[in-house]
């Protein structure tokens, strides 16, 4: 059963970004074919962060009703249906609505999968987060890289190029069809853990801030790096190659960071190391020289994404708390990230250069250090939100009243793959 769940998680993770990254390469053809206005095109590019924030927030409540396995099956169904419908239509409103349906599936999967990892692999959280984040990176890159070749093979038909990704969602649903029939009975220990509890904890806000800062930087770089390169003399082809390598580096990085984070009781050295790489990379990009080198430095620094995913399990003790923290951290985080590309673009337009926009990114990195320094310390959200009720602050896990179950959970965080 464990191998089937692991395979199901990997297959599901491959799909979580296909609705996002498959559109960009053919956006010009889609907008021209559907007669999209500039406003509609802008809305389409903003839908991912909005959908991830909104639908991610309601996922824990849905989990309590349906169970994680059935909910992930529903998420994959939404993803597949949304991808299919938007590939068939010729209407802008329907295309946008179908995109929301597909993105809702990805948003639910974002929150459910960390919970499933905590639930079924408590002693191999690092290894399974590696599987999850690596599959997510592979799916992100493949959808971005393969959509145009598929379109060319289909005689320029963007409908086929976008619709083919629905087949991948259908394949990913197969193991969950079997697994959803045997949904385990849910523990009631922390069944009522929710945003009300988490809002009162510094740790939840720190993780949300860390997740949001890394997502903001990622969306800025994916959206603006080609333009930065072209402004400094790179051709469109060269800029595309750099962006492809930039994206592809996420795969090996995702294979290393979660297991490394799980080996450490304190992830602050990783937080600091990635922040230094960001600072060096951004400073290099500002010089206008050897930009491909500095782009790769920033790509390595974006190991903050698998690190942020790892913290969702490392800073909780139970699947229920992981679900609540995942929803809270990702929803707030994506709301923060949504403002990044727009603010970066406005600053570029107003200033007429790249220095002022990069000052914004340096400020974001500073905020990332502050939030990551707190989020990376050896503590759990349960300690913090239970503290005021029980008359203790209890920020550290080494508390006198901890149970053997908690000791077992702590041990699981140190187990390597």
Which of 183, 201, 225 lies at the terminal end of a domain, its last residue? 183
CATH code of the domain containing 30: 1.20.1250.20
Taking alpha carbons only, the member of 102, 10, 21 closest to residue 55 is 102
pLDDT at 37: 86
Contacts of 303 (CB under 8 A, 6+ apart): 253, 254, 256, 257, 270, 274
From residue 123, how far is each of 203, 263, 411 by CA, in Å?
23, 12, 7
**Structural domain span for residue 113:** 1-183
| Higher-scoring residue by pLDDT: 332, 399 | 332
Is the model's pLDDT at 390 over the cut of 50? no
The DSSP secondary structure of 158-172, one letter per residue, reads HHHHHHTHHHHHHHH
The HSE-up count of residue 350 (CA atoms within 13 Å, CB side) is 8
Residues 128 and 207 in one domain: no
Residues 213 and 361 in one domain: yes
Domain count, the chain: 2
Lowest mean pLDDT among 206-210, 329-333, 368-372: 329-333
Which of 183, 209, 244 lies at the terminal end of a domain, its last residue? 183
pLDDT category at 399 given cuts 50, 70, 90 is very low
Q: What is the pLDDT of residues 265-316, one digit of tens each?
A: 899 999 999 999 999 999 999 998 889 999 999 999 999 999 999 998 899 8
Residues 375 and 232 in one domain: yes
Residues 306 and 159 in one domain: no
Is the model's pLDDT at 350 over the cut of 80? yes
Residues 246 and 395 in one domain: yes
Structure tokens at 320: 């229920």
Residues 170 and 249 in one domain: no
Residues 140 and 277 in one domain: no
Report, as an integer, the average pLDDT of 365-372: 97
DSSP code for 180: G
Residues 2 and 138 in one domain: yes
Residues 197 and 169 in one domain: no
Is the model's pLDDT at 392 over the cut of 50? no
Residues 135 and 223 in one domain: no
Which of 163, 183, 203 lies at the terminal end of a domain, its last residue? 183
Residues 144 and 37 in one domain: yes
Residues 92 and 240 in one domain: no
Global model pTM greater than 0.85: no
The vertex-195 CA angle with 97 and 270, nearest 5°, equals: 90
């Amino acid at each position: 059963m464990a191998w089937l769940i692991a395979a199901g998680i990997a297959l599901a993770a491959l799909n979580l970004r296909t609705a996002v990254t498959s559109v960009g390469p053919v956006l010009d053809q889609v907008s021209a074919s559907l007669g999209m206005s500039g406003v509609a095109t802008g809305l389409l590019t903003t839908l991912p962060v909005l959908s991830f924030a909104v639908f991610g927030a309601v996922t824990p409540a849905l989990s309590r009703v349906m169970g994680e396995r059935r909910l992930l099956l529903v998420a994959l169904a939404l993803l597949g249906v949304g991808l299919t419908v938007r590939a068939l239509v010729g209407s802008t409103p329907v295309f946008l609505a179908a995109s929301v349906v597909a993105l809702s599936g990805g948003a639910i999967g974002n929150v459910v999968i960390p919970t499933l990892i905590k639930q079924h692999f408590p002693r191999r959280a690092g290894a399974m987060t590696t599987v999850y984040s690596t599959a997510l990176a592979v799916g992100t890159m493949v959808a971005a890289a393969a959509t145009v070749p598929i379109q060319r093979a289909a005689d320029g038909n963007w409908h086929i190029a976008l619709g083919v990704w629905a087949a991948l969602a259908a394949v990913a649903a197969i193991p969950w069809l079997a697994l959803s029939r045997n949904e385990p009975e849910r523990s009631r220990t922390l069944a009522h853990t929710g945003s009300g509890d988490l809002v009162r904890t510094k740790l939840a806000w720190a993780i949300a801030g860390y997740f949001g800062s890394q997502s903001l930087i990622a969306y800025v770089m994916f959206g603006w790096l080609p333009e930065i390169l072209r402004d400094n003399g790179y051709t469109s082809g060269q800029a595309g190659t750099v962006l492809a390598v930039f994206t592809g580096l996420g795969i090996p990085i995702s294979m290393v960071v979660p297991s490394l984070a799980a080996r450490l009781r304190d992830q602050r050295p990783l937080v600091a190391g990635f922040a230094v790489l960001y600072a060096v990379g951004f400073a290099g990009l500002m010089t206008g020289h050897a930009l491909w080198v500095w782009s790769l430095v920033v790509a390595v620094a974006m190991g903050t994404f698998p690190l942020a995913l790892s913290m969702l399990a490392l800073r909780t003790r139970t699947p229920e708390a992981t679900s609540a923290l995942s929803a809270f951290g990702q929803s707030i985080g994506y709301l923060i990230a949504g403002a990044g590309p727009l603010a970066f673009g406005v600053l570029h337009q107003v200033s007429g250069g790249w220095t002022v926009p990069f000052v914004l990114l340096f400020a974001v990195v500073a905020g990332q250090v502050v939030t990551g320094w707190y989020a990376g310390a050896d503590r759990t959200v349960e300690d913090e939100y239970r503290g005021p009720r029980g008359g203790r602050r209890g920020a550290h896990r080494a508390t006198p009243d901890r149970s053997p179950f908690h000791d077992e959970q702590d041990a699981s965080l140190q187990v390597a793959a």
